[in-house]
Chains A and B, each alone.
Chain A
Amino acid sequence: MRELEFVNVRKTYRSPSGQDLLALADFSLKIDGGRFVSVVGPSGCGKTTLLRMAAGLIPAEGGEIRLDGGLLTAPSAKMSMVFQGIGLMPWKTVEGNVALGVQLQAHRRKLNEAETQLAHDTLAMVGLKGFEHYYPHQLSGGMQQRVGLARALVRQPEILLMDEPFGALDAQTRTVLQDELLNIWGRVKSTVLFITHDLDEAIYLSDLVVIMGRRPGRIKQVLEVKLPQPRYSYDARAEKEFAHLRSIAWQSIKEEL
Protein backbone atom coordinates (compact mmCIF):
# COMPACT_ATOMS: atom_id res chain seq x y z
CA MET A 1 0.00 0.00 0.00
CA ARG A 2 0.90 3.69 -0.44
CA GLU A 3 3.01 2.75 -3.39
CA LEU A 4 3.81 5.39 -6.00
CA GLU A 5 4.95 4.36 -9.45
CA PHE A 6 6.13 6.26 -12.51
CA VAL A 7 6.03 4.25 -15.73
CA ASN A 8 7.77 5.66 -18.82
CA VAL A 9 6.69 9.20 -18.03
CA ARG A 10 7.52 11.88 -20.61
CA LYS A 11 7.16 15.62 -20.69
CA THR A 12 8.12 18.22 -23.29
CA TYR A 13 7.96 21.98 -22.96
CA ARG A 14 7.71 24.44 -25.78
CA SER A 15 10.39 27.10 -25.49
CA PRO A 16 9.60 30.75 -26.33
CA SER A 17 11.40 30.32 -29.66
CA GLY A 18 8.98 27.53 -30.56
CA GLN A 19 11.37 24.62 -30.03
CA ASP A 20 10.23 21.54 -28.18
CA LEU A 21 12.36 20.79 -25.14
CA LEU A 22 12.29 17.28 -23.76
CA ALA A 23 12.17 17.82 -20.00
CA LEU A 24 11.65 14.23 -18.97
CA ALA A 25 12.31 11.13 -21.07
CA ASP A 26 10.84 7.75 -20.22
CA PHE A 27 11.16 8.19 -16.49
CA SER A 28 10.35 5.07 -14.50
CA LEU A 29 10.55 4.70 -10.74
CA LYS A 30 8.72 2.59 -8.20
CA ILE A 31 8.52 3.85 -4.64
CA ASP A 32 7.44 1.29 -2.09
CA GLY A 33 4.91 2.28 0.54
CA GLY A 34 6.29 4.09 3.56
CA ARG A 35 9.68 4.83 1.98
CA PHE A 36 11.37 8.19 2.02
CA VAL A 37 12.77 8.89 -1.44
CA SER A 38 14.69 11.99 -2.47
CA VAL A 39 15.33 13.15 -5.98
CA VAL A 40 18.42 15.30 -6.57
CA GLY A 41 19.92 16.67 -9.74
CA PRO A 42 21.11 19.83 -11.44
CA SER A 43 18.57 22.56 -12.02
CA GLY A 44 16.57 21.96 -15.15
CA CYS A 45 16.71 18.17 -14.82
CA GLY A 46 12.93 17.97 -14.54
CA LYS A 47 12.67 17.03 -10.87
CA THR A 48 10.03 19.65 -10.08
CA THR A 49 8.14 18.69 -13.24
CA LEU A 50 8.11 15.14 -11.93
CA LEU A 51 6.57 16.20 -8.64
CA ARG A 52 3.98 18.49 -10.23
CA MET A 53 2.87 15.62 -12.44
CA ALA A 54 2.58 13.31 -9.44
CA ALA A 55 0.48 15.98 -7.71
CA GLY A 56 -1.83 16.08 -10.72
CA LEU A 57 -1.08 19.75 -11.38
CA ILE A 58 0.23 19.14 -14.88
CA PRO A 59 -0.58 16.15 -17.10
CA ALA A 60 2.03 13.57 -18.02
CA GLU A 61 2.48 13.39 -21.78
CA GLY A 62 3.32 9.76 -22.11
CA GLY A 63 3.41 6.92 -19.65
CA GLU A 64 1.52 6.59 -16.41
CA ILE A 65 1.71 7.62 -12.78
CA ARG A 66 0.06 5.14 -10.45
CA LEU A 67 -0.92 5.21 -6.80
CA ASP A 68 -1.43 1.67 -5.48
CA GLY A 69 -2.01 0.60 -9.08
CA GLY A 70 -4.69 3.26 -9.77
CA LEU A 71 -3.98 5.84 -12.46
CA LEU A 72 -3.33 9.38 -11.23
CA THR A 73 -4.45 12.22 -13.48
CA ALA A 74 -5.83 14.88 -11.14
CA PRO A 75 -4.98 16.11 -7.65
CA SER A 76 -5.76 13.28 -5.24
CA ALA A 77 -7.21 13.46 -1.75
CA LYS A 78 -4.67 10.80 -0.76
CA MET A 79 -1.79 13.15 -1.44
CA SER A 80 -0.44 16.36 -0.03
CA MET A 81 2.13 18.68 -1.45
CA VAL A 82 4.51 20.99 0.39
CA PHE A 83 5.93 23.85 -1.69
CA GLN A 84 9.19 25.76 -1.47
CA GLY A 85 7.17 28.98 -1.79
CA ILE A 86 4.88 27.62 1.00
CA GLY A 87 1.76 29.30 -0.45
CA LEU A 88 -0.15 30.13 2.70
CA MET A 89 -3.28 32.24 2.21
CA PRO A 90 -2.33 35.64 3.67
CA TRP A 91 -5.98 36.25 4.68
CA LYS A 92 -6.24 33.11 6.77
CA THR A 93 -4.81 32.55 10.21
CA VAL A 94 -2.54 29.61 10.96
CA GLU A 95 -5.61 27.65 12.02
CA GLY A 96 -7.54 28.68 8.89
CA ASN A 97 -4.70 27.68 6.60
CA VAL A 98 -4.44 24.24 8.17
CA ALA A 99 -8.22 23.79 8.03
CA LEU A 100 -8.04 24.54 4.30
CA GLY A 101 -6.19 21.24 3.82
CA VAL A 102 -9.30 19.42 5.03
CA GLN A 103 -11.90 21.76 3.51
CA LEU A 104 -10.61 21.37 -0.04
CA GLN A 105 -10.14 17.63 0.46
CA ALA A 106 -13.66 17.02 1.78
CA HIS A 107 -15.33 19.88 -0.16
CA ARG A 108 -16.92 21.18 3.02
CA ARG A 109 -16.58 24.59 4.64
CA LYS A 110 -17.12 23.39 8.19
CA LEU A 111 -14.83 20.96 9.91
CA ASN A 112 -16.48 18.38 12.11
CA GLU A 113 -15.36 17.80 15.67
CA ALA A 114 -12.89 15.05 14.86
CA GLU A 115 -11.33 17.13 12.08
CA THR A 116 -11.01 20.17 14.33
CA GLN A 117 -9.27 18.02 16.92
CA LEU A 118 -7.00 16.59 14.22
CA ALA A 119 -6.11 20.11 13.05
CA HIS A 120 -5.15 21.07 16.59
CA ASP A 121 -3.15 17.89 17.11
CA THR A 122 -1.34 18.47 13.82
CA LEU A 123 -0.49 22.04 14.80
CA ALA A 124 0.90 20.74 18.08
CA MET A 125 2.90 18.10 16.21
CA VAL A 126 4.68 20.73 14.09
CA GLY A 127 5.29 22.89 17.17
CA LEU A 128 2.75 25.62 16.49
CA LYS A 129 0.59 25.30 19.57
CA GLY A 130 -0.30 28.82 20.69
CA PHE A 131 0.06 30.32 17.21
CA GLU A 132 -3.40 29.30 15.93
CA HIS A 133 -4.63 32.87 15.52
CA TYR A 134 -1.52 34.39 13.95
CA TYR A 135 -1.52 35.53 10.34
CA PRO A 136 1.28 34.19 8.10
CA HIS A 137 3.03 37.56 7.82
CA GLN A 138 3.48 37.55 11.60
CA LEU A 139 5.56 34.37 11.43
CA SER A 140 9.17 33.67 10.45
CA GLY A 141 9.89 31.70 7.28
CA GLY A 142 10.58 28.52 9.26
CA MET A 143 7.31 28.80 11.16
CA GLN A 144 5.42 29.49 7.94
CA GLN A 145 6.78 26.26 6.51
CA ARG A 146 5.65 24.45 9.66
CA VAL A 147 2.16 25.68 8.79
CA GLY A 148 2.68 24.44 5.23
CA LEU A 149 3.66 21.05 6.64
CA ALA A 150 0.64 20.98 8.99
CA ARG A 151 -1.71 21.85 6.10
CA ALA A 152 -0.31 18.82 4.26
CA LEU A 153 -0.32 16.44 7.25
CA VAL A 154 -3.83 17.25 8.41
CA ARG A 155 -5.07 15.50 5.26
CA GLN A 156 -3.48 12.28 6.56
CA PRO A 157 -1.88 11.71 3.19
CA GLU A 158 -0.69 8.36 1.94
CA ILE A 159 1.87 10.20 -0.16
CA LEU A 160 3.66 13.36 0.87
CA LEU A 161 5.14 15.31 -2.04
CA MET A 162 7.75 17.87 -1.04
CA ASP A 163 9.24 20.33 -3.50
CA GLU A 164 12.44 21.75 -1.95
CA PRO A 165 10.42 22.65 1.15
CA PHE A 166 13.41 23.91 3.13
CA GLY A 167 15.27 25.47 0.20
CA ALA A 168 14.43 29.06 1.15
CA LEU A 169 15.23 28.72 4.86
CA ASP A 170 18.44 29.55 6.68
CA ALA A 171 20.81 26.66 7.48
CA GLN A 172 19.94 26.40 11.17
CA THR A 173 16.19 26.39 10.66
CA ARG A 174 16.62 23.89 7.86
CA THR A 175 18.51 21.47 10.11
CA VAL A 176 15.87 21.74 12.84
CA LEU A 177 13.03 21.15 10.38
CA GLN A 178 14.81 18.18 8.80
CA ASP A 179 14.92 16.47 12.19
CA GLU A 180 11.30 17.31 12.88
CA LEU A 181 10.29 15.98 9.47
CA LEU A 182 12.04 12.67 10.23
CA ASN A 183 10.32 12.54 13.60
CA ILE A 184 6.91 13.21 12.04
CA TRP A 185 7.51 10.76 9.21
CA GLY A 186 8.33 8.10 11.81
CA ARG A 187 4.89 8.68 13.28
CA VAL A 188 2.65 9.11 10.23
CA LYS A 189 4.37 6.53 8.00
CA SER A 190 3.48 8.28 4.74
CA THR A 191 5.43 7.58 1.60
CA VAL A 192 7.57 10.66 0.93
CA LEU A 193 8.83 11.94 -2.40
CA PHE A 194 11.24 14.74 -1.63
CA ILE A 195 12.82 17.06 -4.21
CA THR A 196 16.00 18.93 -3.27
CA HIS A 197 19.23 20.19 -4.73
CA ASP A 198 20.99 19.71 -1.40
CA LEU A 199 22.87 16.38 -1.41
CA ASP A 200 23.44 16.32 2.35
CA GLU A 201 19.75 16.87 2.94
CA ALA A 202 18.82 14.07 0.55
CA ILE A 203 21.22 11.58 2.16
CA TYR A 204 20.34 12.58 5.72
CA LEU A 205 16.60 12.18 5.23
CA SER A 206 16.11 9.37 2.75
CA ASP A 207 16.05 5.62 2.36
CA LEU A 208 16.72 6.10 -1.33
CA VAL A 209 18.45 8.93 -3.20
CA VAL A 210 17.62 9.19 -6.89
CA ILE A 211 20.21 11.16 -8.88
CA MET A 212 18.92 12.61 -12.11
CA GLY A 213 20.89 13.58 -15.18
CA ARG A 214 20.51 16.80 -17.09
CA ARG A 215 17.95 17.38 -19.81
CA PRO A 216 16.30 15.29 -20.90
CA GLY A 217 15.64 14.29 -17.31
CA ARG A 218 16.34 10.64 -16.61
CA ILE A 219 17.53 8.55 -13.68
CA LYS A 220 21.30 8.39 -13.55
CA GLN A 221 21.89 6.54 -10.34
CA VAL A 222 19.97 5.31 -7.32
CA LEU A 223 21.72 5.18 -3.94
CA GLU A 224 20.39 3.29 -0.99
CA VAL A 225 21.12 4.90 2.38
CA LYS A 226 21.50 2.15 4.94
CA LEU A 227 22.14 4.39 7.95
CA PRO A 228 19.57 3.42 10.61
CA GLN A 229 16.58 5.65 11.36
CA PRO A 230 15.82 7.86 13.15
CA ARG A 231 18.98 9.65 12.14
CA TYR A 232 18.57 12.51 14.57
CA SER A 233 19.09 10.04 17.41
CA TYR A 234 22.82 9.97 16.61
CA ASP A 235 25.22 12.08 14.57
CA ALA A 236 24.36 10.52 11.22
CA ARG A 237 26.19 13.20 9.25
CA ALA A 238 29.46 12.21 10.93
CA GLU A 239 29.20 8.54 9.91
CA LYS A 240 31.66 7.10 7.43
CA GLU A 241 28.80 5.78 5.34
CA PHE A 242 27.39 9.31 5.02
CA ALA A 243 30.67 10.73 3.69
CA HIS A 244 31.05 7.78 1.36
CA LEU A 245 27.58 8.22 -0.14
CA ARG A 246 28.04 11.95 -0.50
CA SER A 247 31.28 11.41 -2.36
CA ILE A 248 29.66 8.96 -4.81
CA ALA A 249 26.65 11.22 -5.32
CA TRP A 250 28.76 14.31 -5.83
CA GLN A 251 30.88 12.56 -8.46
CA SER A 252 27.74 11.55 -10.25
CA ILE A 253 26.19 15.01 -10.20
CA LYS A 254 29.44 16.78 -11.14
CA GLU A 255 29.41 15.03 -14.51
CA GLU A 256 26.04 16.64 -15.21
CA LEU A 257 26.99 20.23 -14.42
Chain B
Amino acid sequence: MTQSADRLSSGAKFSFASVGGGHYVVATFSFIGFLLLWQVVSMNVPPIILPGPLKVAAAFVELTASGELIRATAQTVWPFAIGLVIAFVLGTALGLLLGIFRPAARILDPYIFVFWSIPNIAWLPLFIAWFGVGQLTLIVFVFVSAFFPQLLTVESGAKEADSFLVEVARSLGGTKREILHVVVLPAALPYIFAGLRIAVGRALVGIIVGQLLIVATGIGYMFQFYGETLSLAKYFAPLIVIAALAVLLNRGVNWAERALIPWKQRAFV
Protein backbone atom coordinates (compact mmCIF):
# COMPACT_ATOMS: atom_id res chain seq x y z
CA MET B 1 0.00 0.00 0.00
CA THR B 2 1.22 3.44 -0.74
CA GLN B 3 0.73 6.64 1.15
CA SER B 4 2.03 9.88 -0.17
CA ALA B 5 4.40 11.65 2.18
CA ASP B 6 3.21 15.12 1.40
CA ARG B 7 -0.35 14.34 2.40
CA LEU B 8 0.73 13.95 5.98
CA SER B 9 1.25 17.08 7.96
CA SER B 10 1.75 17.48 11.67
CA GLY B 11 -1.97 18.08 12.01
CA ALA B 12 -4.06 21.23 12.05
CA LYS B 13 -3.20 23.62 14.83
CA PHE B 14 -5.86 25.46 16.75
CA SER B 15 -5.56 29.19 17.19
CA PHE B 16 -7.67 31.29 19.53
CA ALA B 17 -6.79 34.47 17.66
CA SER B 18 -7.57 33.76 14.04
CA VAL B 19 -5.52 36.61 12.59
CA GLY B 20 -3.44 34.37 10.36
CA GLY B 21 0.10 35.64 9.81
CA GLY B 22 -0.74 39.22 10.82
CA HIS B 23 0.43 39.10 14.43
CA TYR B 24 3.32 41.52 13.75
CA VAL B 25 0.84 44.06 12.40
CA VAL B 26 -1.35 43.51 15.45
CA ALA B 27 1.62 43.92 17.78
CA THR B 28 2.73 47.16 16.09
CA PHE B 29 -0.72 48.73 16.21
CA SER B 30 -1.29 47.68 19.80
CA PHE B 31 2.05 49.26 20.77
CA ILE B 32 1.19 52.53 19.00
CA GLY B 33 -2.17 52.49 20.75
CA PHE B 34 -0.46 51.94 24.07
CA LEU B 35 1.88 54.91 23.51
CA LEU B 36 -1.05 57.16 22.52
CA LEU B 37 -3.01 56.16 25.59
CA TRP B 38 0.04 56.82 27.76
CA GLN B 39 0.49 60.26 26.18
CA VAL B 40 -3.18 61.18 26.69
CA VAL B 41 -3.20 60.07 30.33
CA SER B 42 0.12 61.85 31.08
CA MET B 43 -1.25 65.12 29.66
CA ASN B 44 -4.11 65.01 32.17
CA VAL B 45 -2.09 64.29 35.34
CA PRO B 46 0.80 66.21 36.96
CA PRO B 47 4.23 65.14 35.55
CA ILE B 48 5.24 64.05 39.06
CA ILE B 49 2.62 61.28 38.81
CA LEU B 50 3.28 60.09 35.26
CA PRO B 51 5.70 61.58 32.72
CA GLY B 52 4.70 61.18 29.07
CA PRO B 53 6.44 58.88 26.60
CA LEU B 54 8.29 61.74 24.90
CA LYS B 55 9.83 62.91 28.17
CA VAL B 56 10.77 59.35 29.03
CA ALA B 57 12.40 58.92 25.62
CA ALA B 58 14.39 62.12 26.11
CA ALA B 59 15.56 60.96 29.56
CA PHE B 60 16.49 57.58 28.07
CA VAL B 61 18.62 59.24 25.39
CA GLU B 62 20.26 61.53 27.94
CA LEU B 63 21.15 58.70 30.32
CA THR B 64 22.47 56.59 27.44
CA ALA B 65 24.59 59.45 26.06
CA SER B 66 26.10 60.16 29.49
CA GLY B 67 27.09 56.50 29.75
CA GLU B 68 25.27 56.05 33.04
CA LEU B 69 22.65 53.64 31.72
CA ILE B 70 25.17 51.51 29.83
CA ARG B 71 27.47 51.30 32.84
CA ALA B 72 24.57 50.35 35.09
CA THR B 73 23.38 47.71 32.61
CA ALA B 74 26.85 46.15 32.51
CA GLN B 75 27.03 46.15 36.30
CA THR B 76 23.71 44.34 36.36
CA VAL B 77 24.20 41.87 33.53
CA TRP B 78 27.43 40.30 34.79
CA PRO B 79 26.44 39.13 38.29
CA PHE B 80 23.04 38.20 36.85
CA ALA B 81 24.55 36.02 34.14
CA ILE B 82 27.09 34.36 36.45
CA GLY B 83 24.49 33.55 39.10
CA LEU B 84 21.95 32.31 36.56
CA VAL B 85 24.37 30.09 34.62
CA ILE B 86 25.67 28.40 37.78
CA ALA B 87 22.10 27.94 39.03
CA PHE B 88 21.02 26.47 35.68
CA VAL B 89 23.90 24.00 35.47
CA LEU B 90 23.78 22.83 39.08
CA GLY B 91 19.98 22.92 39.29
CA THR B 92 19.63 20.83 36.13
CA ALA B 93 22.29 18.31 37.17
CA LEU B 94 20.98 17.85 40.70
CA GLY B 95 17.37 17.80 39.47
CA LEU B 96 18.17 14.95 37.06
CA LEU B 97 20.02 13.00 39.75
CA LEU B 98 17.22 13.38 42.28
CA GLY B 99 14.62 12.53 39.62
CA ILE B 100 16.38 9.25 38.86
CA PHE B 101 17.69 8.17 42.28
CA ARG B 102 14.48 8.35 44.25
CA PRO B 103 15.94 7.08 47.57
CA ALA B 104 18.33 10.06 47.61
CA ALA B 105 15.44 12.36 46.72
CA ARG B 106 13.34 11.06 49.59
CA ILE B 107 16.11 12.13 51.98
CA LEU B 108 16.89 15.50 50.36
CA ASP B 109 13.45 16.64 49.17
CA PRO B 110 12.22 17.90 52.57
CA TYR B 111 15.32 20.08 53.01
CA ILE B 112 15.03 21.43 49.50
CA PHE B 113 11.39 22.22 50.06
CA VAL B 114 12.11 24.09 53.29
CA PHE B 115 14.87 26.19 51.69
CA TRP B 116 12.66 26.86 48.70
CA SER B 117 9.74 27.96 50.91
CA ILE B 118 11.71 30.64 52.74
CA PRO B 119 11.32 33.98 50.92
CA ASN B 120 14.64 34.81 49.26
CA ILE B 121 14.81 38.22 50.84
CA ALA B 122 15.07 36.61 54.28
CA TRP B 123 18.47 35.20 53.32
CA LEU B 124 19.99 38.59 52.51
CA PRO B 125 21.20 39.64 55.99
CA LEU B 126 22.75 36.19 56.39
CA PHE B 127 24.47 36.33 53.00
CA ILE B 128 25.83 39.78 53.81
CA ALA B 129 27.20 38.44 57.10
CA TRP B 130 28.80 35.49 55.30
CA PHE B 131 29.99 37.02 52.04
CA GLY B 132 30.23 40.73 52.85
CA VAL B 133 28.82 43.70 50.96
CA GLY B 134 29.90 43.09 47.38
CA GLN B 135 29.57 41.26 44.11
CA LEU B 136 29.92 37.81 45.70
CA THR B 137 26.82 38.31 47.84
CA LEU B 138 24.97 39.57 44.80
CA ILE B 139 25.92 36.51 42.76
CA VAL B 140 24.98 34.16 45.58
CA PHE B 141 21.63 35.89 45.90
CA VAL B 142 20.89 35.56 42.18
CA PHE B 143 22.03 31.93 42.33
CA VAL B 144 19.71 31.05 45.22
CA SER B 145 16.80 32.80 43.49
CA ALA B 146 17.22 30.76 40.29
CA PHE B 147 18.60 27.48 41.61
CA PHE B 148 15.54 26.11 43.39
CA PRO B 149 12.96 26.59 40.62
CA GLN B 150 15.41 24.98 38.16
CA LEU B 151 16.11 22.06 40.49
CA LEU B 152 12.49 21.36 41.39
CA THR B 153 11.15 21.62 37.84
CA VAL B 154 13.82 19.32 36.38
CA GLU B 155 13.41 16.83 39.22
CA SER B 156 9.67 16.55 38.65
CA GLY B 157 10.31 16.08 34.91
CA ALA B 158 12.97 13.40 35.31
CA LYS B 159 10.95 11.31 37.74
CA GLU B 160 7.97 11.31 35.38
CA ALA B 161 9.88 9.47 32.63
CA ASP B 162 7.40 7.13 30.93
CA SER B 163 7.78 3.65 32.48
CA PHE B 164 6.47 2.05 29.28
CA LEU B 165 9.23 3.63 27.17
CA VAL B 166 11.76 2.48 29.77
CA GLU B 167 10.38 -1.05 29.39
CA VAL B 168 10.59 -0.84 25.58
CA ALA B 169 14.23 0.23 25.84
CA ARG B 170 14.90 -2.64 28.27
CA SER B 171 13.31 -5.15 25.90
CA LEU B 172 15.66 -3.95 23.18
CA GLY B 173 18.59 -4.72 25.50
CA GLY B 174 19.30 -1.21 26.79
CA THR B 175 21.56 -0.89 29.82
CA LYS B 176 20.76 1.58 32.63
CA ARG B 177 23.10 4.13 31.08
CA GLU B 178 21.61 3.73 27.62
CA ILE B 179 18.08 4.05 29.01
CA LEU B 180 19.12 7.28 30.74
CA HIS B 181 20.42 8.57 27.45
CA VAL B 182 17.61 7.50 25.11
CA VAL B 183 14.56 7.81 27.39
CA VAL B 184 15.07 9.84 30.56
CA LEU B 185 17.13 12.78 29.29
CA PRO B 186 15.04 13.56 26.20
CA ALA B 187 11.87 13.27 28.29
CA ALA B 188 13.30 15.77 30.81
CA LEU B 189 14.35 18.32 28.19
CA PRO B 190 11.04 20.23 28.07
CA TYR B 191 11.17 20.50 31.87
CA ILE B 192 14.72 21.85 31.72
CA PHE B 193 13.40 24.69 29.57
CA ALA B 194 10.32 25.21 31.74
CA GLY B 195 12.64 25.48 34.74
CA LEU B 196 14.91 27.92 32.91
CA ARG B 197 11.98 30.17 32.07
CA ILE B 198 11.05 30.46 35.76
CA ALA B 199 14.71 30.71 36.82
CA VAL B 200 15.32 33.67 34.48
CA GLY B 201 12.40 35.56 36.01
CA ARG B 202 13.51 34.84 39.58
CA ALA B 203 17.11 35.77 38.81
CA LEU B 204 15.96 39.12 37.39
CA VAL B 205 14.06 39.87 40.59
CA GLY B 206 17.10 38.70 42.56
CA ILE B 207 19.58 40.99 40.81
CA ILE B 208 17.37 44.09 41.12
CA VAL B 209 16.52 43.50 44.77
CA GLY B 210 20.15 42.68 45.47
CA GLN B 211 21.44 45.87 43.85
CA LEU B 212 18.79 47.90 45.61
CA LEU B 213 19.58 46.52 49.04
CA ILE B 214 23.22 45.40 49.02
CA VAL B 215 25.65 47.02 46.65
CA ALA B 216 24.00 50.26 45.47
CA THR B 217 25.15 49.80 41.86
CA GLY B 218 23.60 49.00 38.52
CA ILE B 219 20.02 49.11 37.39
CA GLY B 220 18.69 48.31 40.85
CA TYR B 221 20.39 51.37 42.30
CA MET B 222 19.05 53.59 39.47
CA PHE B 223 15.54 52.62 40.53
CA GLN B 224 16.33 53.60 44.07
CA PHE B 225 18.07 56.88 43.20
CA TYR B 226 15.61 58.24 40.65
CA GLY B 227 12.68 56.97 42.68
CA GLU B 228 13.76 58.76 45.83
CA THR B 229 14.67 61.97 43.99
CA LEU B 230 11.31 61.83 42.19
CA SER B 231 12.95 62.10 38.74
CA LEU B 232 10.27 59.96 37.22
CA ALA B 233 11.22 60.42 33.56
CA LYS B 234 14.68 59.05 34.33
CA TYR B 235 13.18 56.37 36.55
CA PHE B 236 11.59 54.83 33.45
CA ALA B 237 14.94 54.32 31.67
CA PRO B 238 16.17 51.37 33.80
CA LEU B 239 12.61 50.03 33.70
CA ILE B 240 12.81 49.85 29.91
CA VAL B 241 16.21 48.12 30.11
CA ILE B 242 14.88 45.47 32.48
CA ALA B 243 11.78 44.90 30.37
CA ALA B 244 13.90 44.60 27.22
CA LEU B 245 16.25 42.17 28.98
CA ALA B 246 13.31 40.03 30.12
CA VAL B 247 11.78 39.94 26.63
CA LEU B 248 15.13 39.15 25.02
CA LEU B 249 15.88 36.31 27.41
CA ASN B 250 12.43 34.84 27.01
CA ARG B 251 12.78 34.96 23.22
CA GLY B 252 16.14 33.25 23.53
CA VAL B 253 14.74 30.46 25.68
CA ASN B 254 11.82 29.97 23.28
CA TRP B 255 14.13 29.85 20.32
CA ALA B 256 16.46 27.32 21.96
CA GLU B 257 13.49 25.22 22.99
CA ARG B 258 12.10 25.05 19.49
CA ALA B 259 15.52 24.24 18.08
CA LEU B 260 16.27 21.49 20.60
CA ILE B 261 12.79 19.96 20.92
CA PRO B 262 11.55 19.64 17.34
CA TRP B 263 9.32 16.70 18.26
CA LYS B 264 7.15 18.64 20.68
CA GLN B 265 3.52 18.96 19.67
CA ARG B 266 1.94 22.27 20.48
CA ALA B 267 -1.81 22.34 20.88
CA PHE B 268 -2.20 26.09 20.48
CA VAL B 269 -0.49 28.56 18.23
Contacts and interface: CB of A to CB of B under 8 A. Distances in A.
A85 B178 CA distance: 21
Given A104-B178, A131-B5, A138-B10, A55 B186 contact: no
Contacts of B66: none
B164 A87 contact: yes
A130 interface: yes
Contacts of A131: 5
Contact of B173 (A75, A91, A136, A139): A75
B48 interface: no
A100 B1 contact: no
A105 B174 CA distance: 7
Contacts of B18: none
A115 B269 CA distance: 40
Residue with the greatest number of chain A CB neighbours at <10 A, chosen from B2, B171, B187, B263? B171
A135 B263 contact: yes
Contacts of A226: none
B186 A91 contact: yes
Given A57-B167, A77-B173, A127-B1, A91 B8 contact: no
Interface in A45-88: 55-57, 75-77, 80-81, 83, 85, 87
A107 interface: yes
A101 B172 CA distance: 6
Size category, A interface: 35 or more
A16 interface: no
Contact of A55 (B10, B171, B187): B171
A137 interface: yes
B174 A104 contact: yes
B241 interface: no
A80 B171 CA distance: 7
A105 to B, nearest CB: 5
B173 A137 contact: no
Contacts of A91: 186-187, 189, 261, 263
Nearest to A138: B10
Contacts of A135: 10, 262-263
A176 interface: yes
Contacts of A250: none
A89 B172 contact: no
Nearest to B162: A87
Contact of A137 (B167, B182, B261, B263): B263
Contacts of A81: 168, 171
Nearest to A105: B173
A87 B168 contact: yes
Nearest to A102: B172
A143 interface: yes
Contacts of B28: none
Interface of B: 1-3, 5, 8-11, 164-165, 167-175, 178, 182-183, 186-187, 189, 261-263, 265
Given A87-B167, A89-B186, 9 more contacts: A57-B171, A75-B170, A83-B164, A87-B164, A89-B165, A89-B182, A89-B183, A137-B10, A137-B265
Interface of A: 55-57, 75-77, 80-81, 83, 85, 87, 89-92, 100-101, 103-105, 107, 127, 130-131, 134-140, 143, 151, 155, 176
22 contacts: A55-B171, A75-B170, A80-B172, A81-B168, A87-B165, A90-B263, A101-B172, A103-B182, A104-B169, A104-B174, A105-B172, A105-B173, A107-B175, A107-B178, A131-B5, A134-B5, A135-B262, A137-B10, A138-B9, A138-B10, A138-B11, A140-B8
> Closest 10 interchain pairs by CB?
A87-B168, A104-B172, A91-B186, A104-B174, A81-B171, A130-B5, A91-B263, A135-B263, A104-B173, A138-B10
